[in-house]
Structure 1
Amino acid sequence: MKNYLYETAVLLCLALLPGSGASAQECSALRTAGPRFAVRTNALYWATASLNAGFEVGLDPRTSWEVAGGYNPWTFGDNRKLKFWTAQTEFRYWLRRRFAGHFFGLHVLYADYNAGGVKLFGMGDRRYEGFLYGAGLSYGYQWVVGRRWNIEAMLGVGYIRSEYDRYVWKRCGRFLGSGRRNYFGPTRVGVSVGFMIR
């Protein structure tokens, strides 16, 4: 039955694209699903000394499901910190075949954080401790750079809801109150190196 479906798909591809020079080999991409699993790490996390890893499984030739996480346990001098742990999952639809080329994704994420004393997002003299959750849509591209290796670039945008307690940044700083924030904008960004498992 699989051979019949494959032959039918190749014939349809050739019939519909006669002027494009499409070959049976190109049309066989309909049958070739690519690797079954991938593990990867995001280089942008490593730039902030954050541990991270992701695992992705192919569901069918054009879809996959990814689970990823990150962790930063470090406190730097003078009680500066960007501590967090995060978990995210994403369903991906590939335009040609999984783990190669363009994809679109739908992701959800959750994180706990304890950050302060760093001159990002107004945290130079404040410490924020709380959690966030959200969802969004993403676009990415994977380049195959070897039989089992690829590089991925991706960007996601969507909604995040954050709830936190605010303190004076110094160690054992005074409690300044609680807050909530809704955010629309980038929710995922990555430049990752992946290893394919057949």
Structure 2
Amino acid sequence: MMHYYRTTQRVFLALLSSCLLLLLPTHGVAQQVALKTNLLYGGALQSPNLSLELRLAPRWSMELGGGANFFFYSTDPSSDRYKTKKISHWLVQPEVRYWTCEAFNGLFFGLHSQGGAFNLGSVNIPFVLENKNGLMKDHRYEGYFVGAGLSAGYHLILSKRWSMEAQLGLGYNWIHYDKFECVRCGDKLNDGVANYLGPTKAAISFVYLIK
């Protein structure tokens, strides 16, 4: 499983880099692009994250975001750097947005999808339907997830180049996992699937507008 998790790290970096390049303008017509980082995501989980948003039409835009915090954890349970309590993961999350006024200004609504991989230990993840008794913290889980959701947010212009953005999204994730006997040992108990229904996006983002 450690080999699987390292492989997903490389896949994440390659996928995020490729998708960011696809979002960049490829012709001479002026485009508007926003580069942003989610302060909630980076602050609460100590996870580097970056999003790039491209205006497609006066009231439509597309965002591609991603983040990860596998940099801070060793995946080897015998290592001194291995932490039993962790939410080691990577995530890619594209979104299409409709703006009620104009792109990069005011209220917007979004439709997003997401996918990623995780290595969890000593934590309970809320809104997992199969975790009714809150026993996730007694085991370690590795696996991957895919899902989608709806969101709403507000973009506040601060100056010609700088903005702030708040957003909240709700949706569903399908999760495939391998369950291990304890948060540190590597003895696998079983595998299975789970369903998550709840918040899929929460952001207070610092935005730089590129024109």
- What TM-score do you get using the length of structure 1 for normalisation? 0.78
TM-fit CA distance, 1:132: 0.5
Q: Structure 1 residues 149, 62: closer, same or farther in 2, change over 3 A?
A: same
Map of 2:139 onto structure 1 = 126
Distance in 2, Cα, partners of 1:188 & 1:102: 16
TM-fit CA distance, 1:136: 1.1
Q: 2:35 aligns with which of 27, 30, 39?
A: 39
Aligned length: 165
| Two-structure CA RMSD over aligned residues (Å) | 1.8
- Secondary structure at the aligned position of 2:203 is classed as strand
TM-fit CA distance, 1:119: 5.2
TM-fit CA distance, 1:78: 4.3
Distance in 2, Cα, partners of 1:179 & 1:147: 50
Structure of greater Rg: 1
Q: 1:68 aligns with which of 49, 65, 68?
A: 65
Q: Higher mean Cα deviation, 43-52 or 112-121?
A: 112-121
TM-fit CA distance, 1:52: 0.3
Q: 1:182 aligns with which of 195, 198, 204?
A: 195
- Secondary structure at the aligned position of 1:124 is classed as helix
- Secondary structure at the aligned position of 1:185 is classed as strand
TM-fit CA distance, 1:107: 0.5
Map of 1:10 onto structure 2 = none
Distance in 1, Cα, partners of 2:124 & 2:118: 16
Q: Structure 1 residues 188, 97: closer, same or farther in 2, change over 3 A?
A: same
Q: What's the CA shift string for 1:70-114, capped at 9, x where partnerless?
A: 010122664332110110100000000111100001110001000
Structure 1 runs not aligned, ≥5 long: 1-34
Q: What's the CA shift string for 1:7-44, capped at 9, x where partnerless?
A: xxxxxxxxxxxxxxxxxxxxxxxxxxxx7000000011
TM-fit CA distance, 1:120: 4.8
Structure 2 runs not aligned, ≥5 long: 1-30, 74-80, 127-133
TM-fit CA distance, 1:184: 2.0
Q: Structure 1 residues 180, 120: closer, same or farther in 2, change over 3 A?
A: closer
- Identity, % of aligned pairs? 42
Distance in 2, Cα, partners of 1:183 & 1:83: 18
Map of 1:86 onto structure 2 = 91
- Superposition pairs for residues 1-198 of structure 1, below 5 Å? 36-47=32-43, 48-73=45-70, 74-75=72-73, 78-118=83-123, 120-121=125-126, 122=134, 123-198=136-211
Cα contact 2:149–2:170 (8 A) shared by 1: yes
Map of 2:24 onto structure 1 = none
Normalized per residue, which structure has more strand? 1
- Secondary structure at the aligned position of 1:79 is classed as coil
Map of 1:6 onto structure 2 = none
Letter in 2 for 1:46: G
